[in-house]
A and B are shown apart, each in its own frame.
Chain A
Amino acid sequence: MGHELRIRIKTLVMILAMVVCANAGDLMLKRGMTQIGAVEISAAGLRHAFASTVTNGTIWIGIVFLVGFMVSYMTVLSWADYSYVMPAGAFGYALLTLLAVVFLHENVSPRRWVGVALICIGVLLVGQTRPRTTEVMAREVAA
């Protein structure tokens, strides 16, 4: 497999991992906080909210996904351009809309569909460019 193709494939895999982890993490946090209920802004309310969040399994699953997002983000930026990863990550917004339509049967406004289409075209355009345009400046990792 060519060097360029290999970089392209591993970059796309990491960006996909980023998008999936970020969306799954947000979803789990939302689900966990719904289980806990609205937080009351008072000393006792905040203490209760803190105690319920750190003992809530769903919240912890959410946190694990968000750590997974951060790790894949840092890893992909160790070789790929910031100006490649950042717009490509916006694919998550389009994915979220599609999931909301397919699984939650949400109604989506025409304006939002136009937005989804623009994101998809934009990500495809960025995706065609070379993932890395700068010189390798760091030492290769000692095996």
Chain B
Amino acid sequence: MMRVALLLAVLIVGSTGGEIAITHGMKSTGEPSRLRPRELLAFLARALRSGWFWVGVPLMALSFYSLLVLLSWEPISFVIPASALSYVVGTLGAKYILREDVSPARWIGVVLVCAGVALVAAG
């Protein structure tokens, strides 16, 4: 039980930590001036040179491997609903690390989405 909880924590912290690092990298890259192929390619070239992007990728890989190991221990109907907690953890990270302004309406929405994803994944 202890090792399942620990690996679930690695899965959630890895995926949200990775996405937060990538978000930070993309915000410092700056948005493409227009959504045309040429500007998008230039944006991607700059984004791939961002250090934060390369902090995010191994974190997401770590989270992916924890998911594979967890799936070998526990049924999918437990693992995916439990990983829906990452919506709440990710929002906490957005508020306290990325300093986004999470309004009450957004919080209620996130909690509903988290519960909804858990129910859908449980079948």
Contacts and interface: CB of A to CB of B under 8 A. Distances in A.
A3 interface: no
A99 to B, nearest CB: 13
Interface stretch (B5-13, B25-33, B65-73): B25-33
* Of listed B27, B87, B100, B108, residue having the most chain A CB within 10 A: B27
Interface string B86-123: 01001101110011111101101111111111111111
Interface string B13-40: 0000001101100111111110100011
Contacts of A118: 112-113, 115-116, 119
A27 interface: no
Interface size bucket, A side? Answer: 35 or more
B64 interface: no
A77 B43 contact: no
Given A77-B23, A115-B117, A140 B102 contact: no
A141 B91 CA distance: 28
B102 A78 contact: no
Task: Determine chain B's interface SS by DSSP, over half rule.
Answer: helix
Interface in A58-103: 71, 74-75, 77-79, 81-84, 86-87, 90, 93-94, 97
Nearest to B42: A141
A10 B31 CA distance: 12
B78 to A, nearest CB: 15
B47 interface: yes
Interface string A31-72: 000000000000000000000000000000000000000010
B94 A71 contact: no
B87 A125 contact: no
Interface size bucket, B side? Answer: 35 or more
30 contacts: A74-B26, A75-B32, A77-B26, A82-B90, A83-B100, A84-B100, A87-B87, A90-B87, A90-B116, A93-B120, A115-B115, A115-B119, A115-B121, A115-B122, A118-B113, A118-B119, A121-B109, A121-B112, A122-B109, A122-B112, A122-B114, A126-B109, A127-B109, A128-B105, A129-B103, A129-B106, A137-B27, A138-B30, A140-B30, A141-B42
Interface of A: 10, 71, 74-75, 77-79, 81-84, 86-87, 90, 93-94, 97, 109, 111-112, 114-130, 133-134, 137-141, 143
Given A10-B35, A82-B98, A138-B28, 10 more contacts: A86-B87, A93-B121, A111-B123, A112-B123, A116-B120, A119-B116, A119-B120, A125-B105, A125-B112, A129-B106
